A and B are shown apart, each in its own frame.
Chain A
Amino acid sequence: MSQTLFEKLLDMHLVERFKDGSALVLIDRVMLHERTGALALSALADADRAIANPANVFACMDHIVSTLPGRGDATSVPNGAAFVSAMRDTAADAGIRLFDINDPMQGISHLVSAEQAIALPGLTMVCPDSHTCTLGALGLLAWGIGTSDCEHALATETLRIRVPKSMRVWCDGQLGHGATAKDLILALIARHGANGGAGYHIEFAGPAIVGMSMAERFTLCNMAVEFSAFSGVVAPDETTIDYLRGRPLAPAADQFDAAARYWRTLVSDDDALFDSEILVDCDTLRPMVSWGTSPAQTLPLGERIKPASNDIGAQRALDYMGLNAGQSLDGLRVDGAYIGSCTNARLEDLRAAAALLRGKRIAAHVQARCVPGSTQTRLAAEAEGLDKVFTDAGFEWHESGCGLCFYAGGDGFAPGSRVISTTNRNFEGRQGPGVRTHLASPVTVAASALAGRIASAPAQLLDEVG
């Protein structure tokens, strides 16, 4: 019988299927982070439960750590150092590999999982962070869970899930005209709502996906959760296999080709049936910027704000953002610009932004910060001289971590300030009390920082950037 990729991945991991539509599935990898990792590990220890498979469990310092150059355990997050040391202690007690603050492999967990090849095609992986769906880009079943489910996964190597339905998002044509993977996922959410993927596992497929780099695929899958999907996936292909070859925890050289042969079978069969299909024409996409406090409240640059008729939160969002319906975002003065997060802080993102910033200065009133997504990314960027490009342009250049993607107290943008950001959530207060976040791609953020106003990157520059 023909199957979708999701069904193949599920079948491979099935322990039991239950009549109520739920299933017990084997979990191959667990990633923890210092925000909640110590809570899960100490709850298990208190209950006298062992970790079933510690060799397949990892932890990262990313959410709370300071990103200031020369950092130590101290962080501006209230009581943050307690989370850092609790993570370190519980990870050591449990015997799991921790990517600590000064580890050259440290970074945002979803980037580390990819860079170290902890995440591999065909696996199941969970992490107590909703953007774990990012890793679906490598062709695995990866999703975010809460702390209790995390304890369950650690203690039993399984999780019970309600089996989602399958949706395929068919991405026709090719991205161009300054539209990036970020603009594609924002457009999808804007058109079909923040709830559009609820109850579904989503496979991204089509010509536009085939041509995408891994970095773009990660950006795309990262925001599947903002579409309310269980997770997203891209079928592994030669791009995936090339990306993984030689990475630290990828199958060893003598096993790699056999593994790759298996990965190539991880595709939806030609006649597989999806419960739902959505078509996106990538040829016509333009740069997108959010105007409200939900990622669905987003529009193409050049258009005017026109809330959907069923959007009952629109007025509240407009009030929070200090905007009116009918207004255009182009030319709106920004106080801050932020390049960072598990959505858009990979080397490719930094290169694209740097191509616009090179030899220029951002507007004097803009506070701009770049926080590379991982230490590996930061080191690679510095080796290319990108840090100089950013600092010469007036950006702050930081160590890696979640940084100002979310505000946990401590330093940040001033209340009421308007920030254009490469992150994934524009919720009220997400980047600080009263902060107004506009989501956009790295090139749009760079162009806006230069102009001091929301602006798309000049077309001829984009053609050079590619």
Chain B
Amino acid sequence: MQPFTTHTGIAAPLLRDNVDTDSIIPSREMSRVSRRGLGRSLFAGWRYCEAGAYDPNPGFILNLPRYKNASILLAGSNFGCGSSREHAVWALADFGIRAVLAESFGAIFESNCWRNGLLPLKLDRATIQSIADASQDKPLTIDLEHSELRMAGVGQWGFTVPERLRRNLLAGADEIDQTLNYRESIDLAIQRRAAIMPWAQLTRRSP
């Protein structure tokens, strides 16, 4: 996983509530058995004039000259709700988005973000609005080491994220390796399961 320490970039405001993962990447765009190269498909239903064609819709925020190279997304509440497709995160990351700042997130989407090194930050609506108001001409800095956001001449804001996830992201650590350190506790849980729910373990025989 790509580590995240400090990032400075343009923040694009997409201040809608309940932006679902079908909107972040429509199903019809997930046509390759791969997690790569999905940036073009990001927000395809809104970003392009027609489904299947790729003529930019000039009104969509990420097509405005100022926000073409945005690397931070500002959103409303419940961003990433709906389908569990991790393609939503892969598409954002491939487009170049490193962090999403929203009032709240769909739970599966949020955990997919952490697993892919995309930082999901929860902030109140007023803070997101102040950043959005100034995003026209100022970049935003996200400092994960100090849990702080800075925008020159506008302000700075603290944020809190789960400490373990913060440390993992700073180090780019692999979660599977970390879990396998708990092998003994896992084996104990399996023994407990075998004692109470002996039918929980299936045998490798076709039903």
Interface residues of A, Cβ cutoff 8 Å to B: 12-16, 18, 20-22, 24, 26, 28, 35-36, 38-39, 49, 53-56, 77-79, 82-83, 86, 95, 97, 105, 116, 120, 122-123, 128-130, 144-149, 151-152, 155-158, 160, 162, 194-195, 198-199, 228, 230, 248-252, 255, 259, 262, 294, 312-313, 316, 406-409, 415, 425, 427-430, 433
Which residues of B68-94 are within 8 A (CB) of A? Answer: 76-78, 81-86, 89
* B64 interface residue (CB < 8 Å to A): no
Give the CA-CA distance A415 to B83 in the complex, in Å. 22
Chain B neighbourhood of A123, CB < 8 A: 197, 200
Query: With A198-B107, A312-B16 as given contacts, are A20 and B164 in contact (CB-CB < 8 Å)?
Result: yes
Residue of A nearest to B166 (CB): A20
Instruction: Evaluate contact between A56 and B197: CB separation under 8 angstroms.
Output: no
Instruction: Evaluate contact between A152 and B84: CB separation under 8 angstroms.
Output: no
Instruction: Evaluate contact between A144 and B198: CB separation under 8 angstroms.
Output: no
Total CB contacts across the A-B interface at under 8 A? 194
Chain A neighbourhood of B51, CB < 8 A: 415, 429, 433
Which residues of B186-200 are within 8 A (CB) of A? Answer: 186, 188-190, 192-193, 196-200
Give the CA-CA distance A97 to B17 in the complex, in Å. 40
Shortest CB-to-CB span from A182 to chain B, Å, is 18
Instruction: Evaluate contact between A82 and B33: CB separation under 8 angstroms.
Output: yes
A-B residue pairs in contact (CB < 8 Å), sample of 7: A35-B85, A39-B34, A78-B28, A146-B89, A251-B199, A259-B199, A433-B45
Residue of B nearest to A99 (CB): B207
Give the CA-CA distance A162 to B34 in the complex, in Å. 28
Give the CA-CA distance A429 to B29 in the complex, in Å. 12
Chain B neighbourhood of A24, CB < 8 A: 179, 182, 185-186
In the complex, how many residues of chain B place their beta carbon closer than 8 angstroms to a beta carbon of chain A? 63
Instruction: Evaluate contact between B111 and A149: CB separation under 8 angstroms.
Output: yes
* B61 interface residue (CB < 8 Å to A): no
Instruction: Evaluate contact between A148 and B112: CB separation under 8 angstroms.
Output: yes
Known: A20-B163, A26-B186, A259-B199. 18 other contacts (CB 8 A): A15-B186, A56-B202, A82-B33, A123-B197, A130-B82, A145-B111, A147-B112, A149-B111, A149-B112, A160-B179, A228-B78, A249-B207, A255-B198, A313-B18, A407-B28, A408-B30, A409-B27, A425-B22
* B115 interface residue (CB < 8 Å to A): yes
Give the CA-CA distance A157 to B187 in the complex, in Å. 10
Instruction: Evaluate contact between A35 and B78: CB separation under 8 angstroms.
Output: no
Query: With A28-B200, A195-B104 as given contacts, are A149 and B82 in contact (CB-CB < 8 Å)?
Result: no
- The 9 tightest CB contacts between A and B, nearest first, are A251-B199, A148-B115, A409-B28, A146-B112, A146-B86, A248-B207, A433-B51, A408-B27, A130-B84
Query: With A35-B30, A105-B207, A160-B179 as given contacts, are A427 and B22 in contact (CB-CB < 8 Å)?
Result: yes
Residue of A nearest to B180 (CB): A156
Cross-interface CB contact of A18 among B84, B112, B164, B199, cutoff 8 Å: B164
Chain A neighbourhood of B124, CB < 8 A: none
Shortest CB-to-CB span from A325 to chain B, Å, is 18
Instruction: Evaluate contact between A408 and B28: CB separation under 8 angstroms.
Output: yes
Which residues of B157-207 are within 8 A (CB) of A? Answer: 162-164, 175-176, 179-180, 182, 185-186, 188-190, 192-193, 196-204, 206-207
Give the CA-CA distance A407 to B192 in the complex, in Å. 43
Shortest CB-to-CB span from B205 to chain A, Å, is 8
Chain B neighbourhood of A316, CB < 8 A: 16
Give the CA-CA distance A49 to B175 in the complex, in Å. 13
Instruction: Evaluate contact between B33 and A83: CB separation under 8 angstroms.
Output: yes
Chain B neighbourhood of A294, CB < 8 A: 18
Interface centre among A147, A250, A294 (most CB of B within 10 A): A147
Chain A neighbourhood of B89, CB < 8 A: 146
Give the CA-CA distance A149 to B108 in the complex, in Å. 10
Give the CA-CA distance A151 to B190 in the complex, in Å. 19
Interface centre among A116, A162, A252, A316 (most CB of B within 10 A): A162
Residue of A nearest to B90 (CB): A147
Instruction: Evaluate contact between B182 and A16: CB separation under 8 angstroms.
Output: yes
Cross-interface CB contact of B82 among A49, A195, A427, A433, cutoff 8 Å: A427
Instruction: Evaluate contact between B30 and A122: CB separation under 8 angstroms.
Output: no
Query: With A26-B189, A406-B22 as given contacts, are A312 and B204 in contact (CB-CB < 8 Å)?
Result: no
Give the CA-CA distance A83 to B30 in the complex, in Å. 10
Chain A neighbourhood of B202, CB < 8 A: 55-56, 249
Instruction: Evaluate contact between B85 and A36: CB separation under 8 angstroms.
Output: yes
Shortest CB-to-CB span from A326 to chain B, Å, is 22
Chain B neighbourhood of A428, CB < 8 A: 22-23, 45
Residue of B nearest to A247 (CB): B207
Residue of A nearest to B110 (CB): A162
Chain B neighbourhood of A146, CB < 8 A: 84-86, 89, 108-109, 111-112, 115
